[in-house]
Amino acid sequence: MELQIRSNQGFQYTSQAYFNLIKEYGITPSMSRRGNPYDNAMAENFFAILKTEYIYRQKIQNFEHAQTLIDDYIHYYNFERFQMKYRRAPLEKRRQSA
């Protein structure tokens, strides 16, 4: 599985230093199209939910703790969190659509 980082086209994300750094860590860049703020809407929505429902309610002790919290939340979000729009968890919705 490939790790990607999503960003807009801000100057800090288009610099050669930024590209060199993420390449050094084996990360593939992914940018929204210029002038299209909706490219990243789904990811922005997920991270807003993650922060308000989970991260802001925790006292994070270190990087490993943060990583565990985020992994736990992603599992919860995909397998257990009821979505009003679909009346089921996201993974159930994807399986139904397949």
- What's the token pair of residue 90? 């996201």
pLDDT at 5: 81
- Cβ count within 10 A of residue 57: 9
- Does residue 40 have a pLDDT over 80? no
31 Cβ contact list (under 8 Å, min separation 6): 6, 7, 8, 9, 13, 14
- Does residue 42 have a pLDDT over 90? no
pLDDT at 80: 80
- Does residue 64 have a pLDDT over 90? yes
pTM of the model: 0.55
Handedness of CA 64, 2, 6, 86 (dihedral sign): negative
Q: What is the mean pLDDT of the chain?
A: 81
Task: Give the pLDDT band of residue 37 (cuts 50, 70, 90).
Answer: low
Task: Give the pLDDT band of residue 36 (cuts 50, 70, 90).
Answer: low
pLDDT at 84: 64
Break the chain into its structural domains and give their ranges. 4-31, 41-97
Beta partners for 51? none
Strand extents, DSSP E, 1-98: 4-7, 28-31
From CA 77, how far away is CA 21, in angstroms rounded? 30
* Mean pLDDT across 59-88: 85
